[in-house]
Amino acid sequence: MSTVTTSGSREPQAGTGDTGRRAGDPGAMRDYIRNLKRLPRTLKGSIVRHGSPNSDRARSQAVTSNFFMHIMSARIHMNSLRFRTTLGLGVITGVLFLILTITGILLMVYYKPDVNSAYGSMEDLRYVVPTGRFMRNIHRWSAHAMVACVILHMARVFFTGAYKRNREFNWILGMVLFVLTLFLSFTGYLLPWDQLAFWAITIGSNIAQSPREVTDALGVTGVLDIGGMQKELLLGAHYVGQEALTRFYVLHVMILPLALTVVAGAHMWRVRKDGGLARPADPVPEVPAGSSRNPSRGEVVGIDGVGKGEDAGR
């Protein structure tokens, strides 16, 4: 924008970015070229708003100004970095989920979620598409490995007692992630639309219908058919067909991955808010012979009653 003065000339208005240069002015072209040359540096400055992380303050600013780093702790205890403490199972599970996401997107390009075309598209991926068989095998084995790593991760947390000490809510989030992982594996099982997938989902839907045996024994199936409702909710019909394939496809590629991403973000955030990764307790200083430990002050007390710890002599 510009304003008209009393003399009739136009002056640029402050703060509008108008330099007052006219079209075709060589100075405007020089400014344009100079701004283009400065673009990489200014773009970097707009993304990274802190200096080199060579001090505690700079490292803290680097963490708090980056979302992907902010969900992790600025400081980590030395014992938490030891491999035998966590076995890296959480990180491995996250990497496998990333691999599954990338390979799943590539497989979606060629897959057709239709009962008449699904199996043919899988055959095309196997024999026609370059590296199609490789992508599918990576996706399948990563899915198996992710389920195994989630189970091992939960077992490690349980047997080391890492779910205690105000971490109970994060343990619940971990259980939700475990259920979502199983549902992702289950819904993806039907997509190849072969005999193995068809009968596996048939058995799974019949298991979901099993509460009908209880309602039949009670004689209330006509009023409250819980098993039938679960099966129809799962398949969209009373049989495995197009409705089931459509539902499983939408759940597998959209709803469940999004839900798992949100819950995983909350899970990692709670790890930070709960004091970082669980770690073994710090070693207790060895008590010399003939001495005892004062439990109220945490100091070593000699036979003569004189404190020998940090508080001694105060």
Instruction: Show the tokens assigned to 272.
Output: 């930070």
Quote the strand ranges of the chain, DSSP E. 2-4, 10-12, 292-294, 299-301
Predicted confidence at residue 307, as pLDDT, reads: 45
Number of H helices, E strands in the chain: 13, 4
CA atoms of 132 and 140, how far apart (whole Å): 12
CA proximity to 173, closest of 285, 55, 266, 71: 266
SS3 111: coil
Per-residue pLDDT of 179-217, as tens digits, reads 999 999 999 999 999 999 999 999 999 999 999 999 999
Predicted confidence at residue 31, as pLDDT, reads: 84
Backbone dihedral region of 67: left (phi > 0), alpha (psi from -120 to 50 degrees) or beta? alpha
Kind and range of the H or E run holding 9: none
Low-confidence ranges of the chain (pLDDT < 70): 1-24, 49-51, 67-75, 280-314
Q: Is residue 194 part of a domain?
A: yes
Number of domains within the chain: 1
CA atoms of 270 and 272, how far apart (whole Å): 5
Q: Is residue 113 part of a domain?
A: yes
**Domain of 148: which CATH number?**
1.20.810.10
Per-residue pLDDT of 90-129, as tens digits, reads 999 999 999 999 999 999 999 999 999 999 999 999 999 9
Is residue 70 classed exposed, middle or buried when 0-12, 13-18 and 19+ CB atoms within 10 A define those classes?
A: middle
Which structural domain, as residue segments, surrounds residue 194? 79-273
SS3 246: helix
Predicted confidence at residue 37, as pLDDT, reads: 85
Instruction: Show the tokens assigned to 314.
Output: 């105060």
Answer for the pair 162, 89: CB distance below 8 angstroms, yes or no. no
Q: Is residue 231 part of a domain?
A: yes
Q: Is residue 92 part of a domain?
A: yes
What are the two backbone dihedrals, phi and then psi, of residue 2, each rounded to the nearest 5 degrees? -145, 160
Predicted TM-score (pTM) of the model is 0.71
Q: Is residue 177 part of a domain?
A: yes
Backbone dihedral region of 290: left (phi > 0), alpha (psi from -120 to 50 degrees) or beta? left
Whether the CA torsion 66, 71, 77, 80 is positive or negative: it is negative
Q: Is residue 114 part of a domain?
A: yes
Q: Is residue 244 part of a domain?
A: yes
CA atoms of 202 and 184, how far apart (whole Å): 17
Is residue 267 classed exposed, middle or buried when 0-12, 13-18 and 19+ CB atoms within 10 A define those classes?
A: buried
Predicted confidence at residue 104, as pLDDT, reads: 96
Q: Is residue 163 part of a domain?
A: yes
CA atoms of 77 and 44, how far apart (whole Å): 31
Instruction: Show the tokens assigned to 186.
Output: 């289950």
SS3 311: coil
Long-range Cβ pairs for the range 308-311 (8 Å, 24+): none
Kind and range of the H or E run holding 88: none
CA atoms of 149 and 175, how far apart (whole Å): 13
